[in-house]
Amino acid sequence: MKIEEDEKQYFVIDFDSTFTQVEALDILGEISLSNHPEKNARLQKIKDITDLGMAGEMSLRESLIARIQLLNGNKAHLPELISRLSKLVSKSIERNSVFFNEHPENTFIISNGFKEFIVPVVTNFGIKADHVFANDMVFDEDGNIIDLNRNNVLSINGGKVKQIEALKLKGQINMIGDGYTDYEVRKAGMANNFYAYTENVEREPVKKHADHIAPSFDEILYHKKMSGALSYPKNRIKMLLLESVHPNALAKLKEEGFSVESYPAGLDEDELCEKIKGIHVLGLRSKTQVTAKVIREADKLMAIGAFCIGTNQIDTEAALEAGIPVFNAPFSNTRSVVELAIAEMISLMRGISDKNRDMHQGIWSKTAKNSYEIRGKKLGIIGYGSIGAQLSVLAENLGMDVYYYDLVEKLALGNATKCDTIEELLSIADVVSLHIDGRPENGNFFLREHFQMMKDGVIFLNLARGPVVDILALKEAILSGKVIGAGVDVFPEEPKSNNDPFTSELMGLPNTILTPHIGGSTLEAQENIADFVPRKIMDYINTGNTENSVNFPNITLPPLKDAHRLIHIHKNRPGVLAKINNTLAEFEANIVGQHLKTNETIGYVITDINKQYGKELSKAMKKIEHTIKFRMLY
C-alpha cells in the first residue's frame, strides 16, 4: 500500500493496556466476582487467557468467550467499570488530551474489547463515538453478559485488519497497541507503522515485530514530529545511576518515564568518560569522582544527583561552568551517621570490640580496666554542620558535655560550648569526632600535631571523609596509647565495590572499629535519599526548578500552566538578559512571567511565554552570545 509522506496522519489506538493502563475485562472481573467463592482462581484464569490471546497463542474469539463465561458479569456492573477505567487512563494519553480534542477526525479506537465501556471512556477525550470500533456484548433478559455479537468482525482473528480495510483511510496509518492483533494490521499492509505500546505492559513477542517501541504516547508524537504535551518524551532522558543507588530511586525515576540504567559499582575517570556519553542525568554516591575531564566528555549531561550528603567527589565548579546543576541530600542520612557515632563512642569507651574478639576466641576477659561511661565525658565536635549539630543534641541528652569548633560561625544548640580554636577543643575533649567535608583544602586536615595536642587516653572518630586524617599519624597515636579507641568509617582509598579487596594501616589495631563507609547506609537513610534526590532531579528536568542545588543559582518556580517555559543558562556577563528579551520581541513572544538569578559564574533566566514557537526561536536563543545551554518546556 503506497502512501505519500505528505498525506494525512491517522492514529489507530488499541484500548486495553494502551489507551488505559489495564485490561478492562480484568477490572470487570474484580467487580463482578467480588463475592464469588472462586474469585481469585477465576481472576487468575482470566489474566492467563488474556495473555495467551495478546501473544497470539489463542484465537481471539476463543479468548473472549472463555473470559465472558468466567466473568459472571451483568449490565449493572458497567457503570462502576466505566468509572474505574476513566481513572486508569494511561498517564501519557491523559497528558496529551489536548491532542485528541484537536484531531478528532484523525483518531480512531479499534479494539477487541467492548463498546459498552470503551465509548464512555474515550469520548471524554474528544474522540468521536463513531470512530470507536469494538465488540458488542449480548445480554439476557436479566442483564447478564452471556455472549458477544458473533457477527461483529472484531470478534474474530484478523478482525482489526478487516475493520481498517473497511474504513478506506487515505493517508499514513499509525497502528498503536500492545497486542499481537495490533501487529497483524501492519503485517497485512493496512498500516504504515506499528508502534508497540509499552507504557503499561511489555510483550516480547509483540515488541520484536514493531517498527517502533513506544514507552509513551509522547514518544509517538515526537517521532511523528507532532506537538504533544511535552517538549520531548521523558523516555529519551537517559539516566545513569552508579554505586547501587537504592532501588526506590530507580522505581521513582522509571515511573516518571525516564530511561534508567543502574550500575552496581563506582567507575574510574576513564570508565566514566566513556560511559557518560549520551547520558542526560548522572546519579552516584561517594566513590565515583566526577572530574572536569568527565564533564568535558559529557555531551548531553543536564544534571548530577549525589545520593549522599557530600558533593566533594564532584567538580561542582566545572559542572556550573557547563550549565549542569548538582543536587544532593544534605539532611537525609544525618540521623544514621549520628547514631553510628553514638554507638561507636559507647562501644569504644567500653572496649567492646576487643572483648567481642576475645570471646569468639574462647577468652573470658571480664574487667573494668579502660571501661567508662560516656555520661559526664567531654565530647569535642569538629565541624558543626547538620551532622555535628544533631550529634551535639543527642550526646548532651546522654549526659555528655559538648564542645564544638567550626570555621563558620554557628549557633550553639542546647548547652554546647563554642571553641575559638581547634587547639582549645583538643585540650578539653575526652572524645573527638570529625564531621567536616571533603573539599580539597581539607585534605590532611588532621595531622600528627593535632593528635599530640590531645589529652592522653582519648577516643577518636572519623565518620566524615577519608582524606581529612593522616592515617599513619592516627596509627601512631593508637599504638602509643594517646588514642585508646578509634572508630573509622571512611578511608583515603576505598574499594570501588564489595568485590574488591580492602587494606588499611589501621587493620588489627587494638580497640579500633573499622566500618566500610556505612555511616549513611541504613534502610531509612537510603530510602530518604532515594526519595529526595530524584524529586529534585525530576523537578529540574520537568520545570527548571533549582531549589537546593549546591552549585546553581537557586530559583523556586511556580508550576508551568497554560504557558511554555524557556530555560536559558549563560555566562554572567552584562546585557545578556536584554539580548534574550530582544530576541523574544523579534518573534513577538508575549512574556507572562520571567525569573532571573545569577552567581559569580552564570546567569539563569526562566521565561514563560503564552504560546508555542518553532525551532527558529530555539536556534535564535542558542545563538545569543555567552549562551551555555538552552531548552524549552511545554
111-167 pLDDT, tens per residue? 999 999 999 999 999 999 999 999 999 999 999 999 999 999 999 989 999 999 999
Q: What is the pLDDT of residue 3?
A: 38
354-385 pLDDT, tens per residue? 999 999 999 999 999 889 999 999 999 999 99
Q: Do domains 9-224 and 234-327 have the same CATH topology?
A: yes
102, 249, 438, 512 from 239: Cα distances, Å: 33, 11, 26, 40
* Domain residue spans of the chain: 9-224, 234-327, 333-514, 560-632
- CATH number for the region 333-514 comes to 3.40.50.720
Nearest residue to 440 via CA among 542, 289, 312, 612? 312
Q: At 604, give phi and psi (nearest 5°).
A: -125, 115
One-letter amino acid of 364: W
CB 86 within 8 Å of CB 115: no
Region 71-94: mean pLDDT is 95
Take residue 360 and report the three cell numbers written for it: 569468639
- Tell me the CATH number of domain 9-224, given options 3.30.870.10, 3.40.50.1000, 3.30.428.10, 3.40.920.10: 3.40.50.1000
Number of Cβ within 10 Å of residue 95's Cβ equals 17
Q: What is the pLDDT of residue 510?
A: 95
16-45 pLDDT, tens per residue? 999 999 999 999 999 999 999 999 999 999
Region 492-497: mean pLDDT is 87
165-218 pLDDT, tens per residue? 999 999 999 999 998 889 999 999 999 999 999 999 998 889 999 999 999 999
537-576 pLDDT, tens per residue? 999 998 999 999 999 999 988 777 777 889 999 999 999 9
Q: What is the pLDDT of residue 1?
A: 34
How would you label 31-55 residue by residue, b for 16+ Cβ within 10 Å and e otherwise?
Answer: bbbeeeeeeeebbeebeebbbebbe
Distance CA 187, CA 166 (A): 17
179, 409, 430 from 51: Cα distances, Å: 9, 65, 68
- Architecture of domain 234-327 in this structure: 3-Layer(aba) Sandwich (3.40)
Query: Quick one: pLDDT band at residue 47, thresholds 50, 70, 90?
Result: confident
Give the SS3 label for residue 438: coil
Region 40-59: mean pLDDT is 83
Question: What's the CA dihedral at 323, 529, 634, 93 to 10 degrees?
Answer: 150
Q: What is the pLDDT of residue 56?
A: 66
Relative to beta strand 172-177, strand 193-197 is parallel
Residues carrying an active site annotation: 465, 494, 517
- Architecture of domain 560-632 in this structure: 2-Layer Sandwich (3.30)
Give the chain's mean pLDDT: 92
Residue 613, pLDDT > 80, answer no
0.75 exceeded by pTM = no
Residue 580, pLDDT > 70, answer yes
Residue 5, pLDDT > 50, answer no
CB 567 within 8 Å of CB 578: no
